[in-house]
Structure 1
Amino acid sequence: MTGSKSKSFVLWAFVTTALLMLSAPTVVVLGASFTAGNIITFPPDGLSLKWYGAIAQASDLRQAFVRSLIVATICTLVSIPVGTLAGIALAKYRVRFARSIQIYLLLPFTIPLIGSGIGMMLVLGNMGVLGKLWPVGIACAVINLPFMIWAVTASASNLSPDLELAAANCGAPPLQRFLYITLPAVLPGVITGSLLMFILALNEFLVSLLLVDARSVTLPVQIYNSIRSIITPDLAAISVVFIACAGLAIALLDRLVGLDIFLKSK
């Protein structure tokens, strides 16, 4: 009994330590965003909402945030059809070069992001489209597409082939089987992957830094340009806005799909 209690105590000690380490940066940023002073301090020097009012009135931050939303939307719209069809194909069919595709799905973890960003910068530079927003969205889709494919593949692997066989025996054509059987079955994975792609593109910094110019900076790049001179509490307030967007996406994911399905897809 004593041994069981000791193991439980050690386990909870590790869990508590991990939670504190993960939540500490968020708590510090949250507290610093409400400071009444002019510099970032924690605990905050008084409480005030003036820095949230400051970012609401800052036209450059608003425009950068809108650009980030545009990039994230483009990334998501590109990823949905490509990632959905690729995930279904990998889960249901024997695809040629399947091993090569599996290696590609590991690229986000094996190739440094700076390498991918420089490669895309060279390609897009030769095309003469650097500085525009839509190439940034496509680049975010390219580097993060494996996450979309994984989410759809996890849902498609649970689809029973007997359902499609039954529909085929009833005379349903392939397109009808896809729209009424396959697509609804993988919809949780599509929603999960779409929200994940949106969040990743919204927060993408390194690739955006290499592909945008001074006229089309996204919000992460705008924040980076600001902290190179001085770190002020309005940057903490912007960070809280990003955290709120991520929290809203998670709440939406739990509402539409359920976090348990999301975790299984990982």
Structure 2
Amino acid sequence: MNRSPTQTIVFWSVAILCVVALSAPTLVVLGASFTAGNIIDFPPDGFSLKWYVAILGERDLQQAFLRSVIVACICVAVSVPAGTLAGIALSKYQVKWAGALQIYLLLPFTVPLIGSGIGLMLLFGELRLLGSLWPIGIATAVINLPFMIWAVSSSAASLDPDLELAAQSCGAGPLQTFFNVTLPAVTPGVITGALLMFILSLNEFLVSLLLVDARIVTLPVQIYNSIRAIITPDLAAVSVVFIAVAALAIIILDRIVGLEVFLKSK
């Protein structure tokens, strides 16, 4: 379909505006992290890598980053089996009350995040489990589980049911069929969901803020606590490292299964 010059101008103007709006925060933080001054400034006051060198010696930030990685790994370990089984079941089998179950699984998106966070804080508090990292990993898995389910469901929906029937006709039992046919077929969705859950958990702030204490702060909470006093360029450098880790995860996703699998899962 041919567009008029006016339509073309409007289209590209909106597209460029969206790209600028999405890129501006990252570009500002990136530029500020290279400043030679002692305060965050954009455009940066000169060019220096001293703030990246500085964060290498800040033990609190390093430990907070390590805790965030541990929380993300716990989240993946919990969400992969749960999300994989739920995604396959909802996509391929006639599950009773499937509609109600799908709505229930979307509750983390319909309930405000602050409400979910407070509820999880009260739950883990009653169980005397606060003060450890693994409840935070479970909490981030709970609130982000629909992403894992969608990723697996997308792969499961494209699986030819004749393959499973062929395996069963050759004498394979339910477990053999699952591990040798179904699971390999949905592996791209599992990898997509796992990487997405890792990124979301790594960056989770609000729920982490409600569940941590002073001994086990994650990196987003550590950054928040720091900027309440003064915003220094080392925090911008840490943010850039965080962005780089997320970008690396996306590159790995593209190399392993391709971004089209991720986009279809959305």
TM over 0.5: yes
Q: Deviations over 1:153-176 (max 9, x none)?
A: 011011111111111111111111
Question: In structure 2, what is the Cα distance between the partners aligned to 1:181 and 1:78?
Answer: 23
Alignment partner, residue 167 of structure 2: 167
Q: Deviations over 1:67-116 (max 9, x none)?
A: 00000000001111110001000011111221222112322331110100
Aligned ranges 1:101-112 → 2 under 5 Å: 101-112=101-112
Alignment partner, residue 137 of structure 1: 137
One-letter code aligned to 1:177: T
Aligned ranges 1:1-266 → 2 under 5 Å: 4-266=4-266
Question: In structure 2, what is the Cα distance between the partners aligned to 1:242 and 1:73?
Answer: 16
Would you say the 8 A contact 2:55–2:234 is kept in 1? yes
One-letter code aligned to 1:141: A
One-letter code aligned to 2:81: P
Question: In structure 2, what is the Cα distance between the partners aligned to 1:2 and 1:117?
Answer: 50
Deviation at 1:58, TM superposition (A): 0.1
Question: In structure 2, what is the Cα distance between the partners aligned to 1:34 and 1:60?
Answer: 21
Question: In structure 2, what is the Cα distance between the partners aligned to 1:151 and 1:201?
Answer: 16
Would you say the 8 A contact 2:92–2:156 is kept in 1? yes
SS at match of 1:57: coil
Question: In structure 1, what is the Cα distance between the partners aligned to 2:121 and 2:30?
Answer: 35
TM-score by length of structure 1 reads: 0.98
One-letter code aligned to 1:222: Q
One-letter code aligned to 2:148: M
Aligned length: 266
After superposing on structure 2, the runs of 4+ consecutive aligned residues of structure 1 that deviate more than 6 Å are none
Deviation at 1:54, TM superposition (A): 1.0
Would you say the 8 A contact 2:108–2:142 is kept in 1? no
Deviation at 1:2, TM superposition (A): 9.1
One-letter code aligned to 2:170: C
User: What value does the CA root-mean-square deviation take over the aligned residues?
Assistant: 1.2
Q: Deviations over 1:194-243 (max 9, x none)?
A: 00000000000111111110000000000000000111101100110111
SS at match of 2:74: helix
One-letter code aligned to 2:35: T
**Structure 2 unaligned runs (5+)?**
none
One-letter code aligned to 1:15: A
- Identical amino acids, percent of aligned pairs: 71
Question: In structure 1, what is the Cα distance between the partners aligned to 2:249 and 2:60?
Answer: 25
Deviation at 1:3, TM superposition (A): 5.3
Question: In structure 2, what is the Cα distance between the partners aligned to 1:101 and 1:196?
Answer: 22
SS at match of 2:56: helix
**Structure 1 unaligned runs (5+)?**
none
Question: In structure 1, what is the Cα distance between the partners aligned to 2:225 and 2:179?
Answer: 46
One-letter code aligned to 1:211: L
TM-score by length of structure 2 reads: 0.98
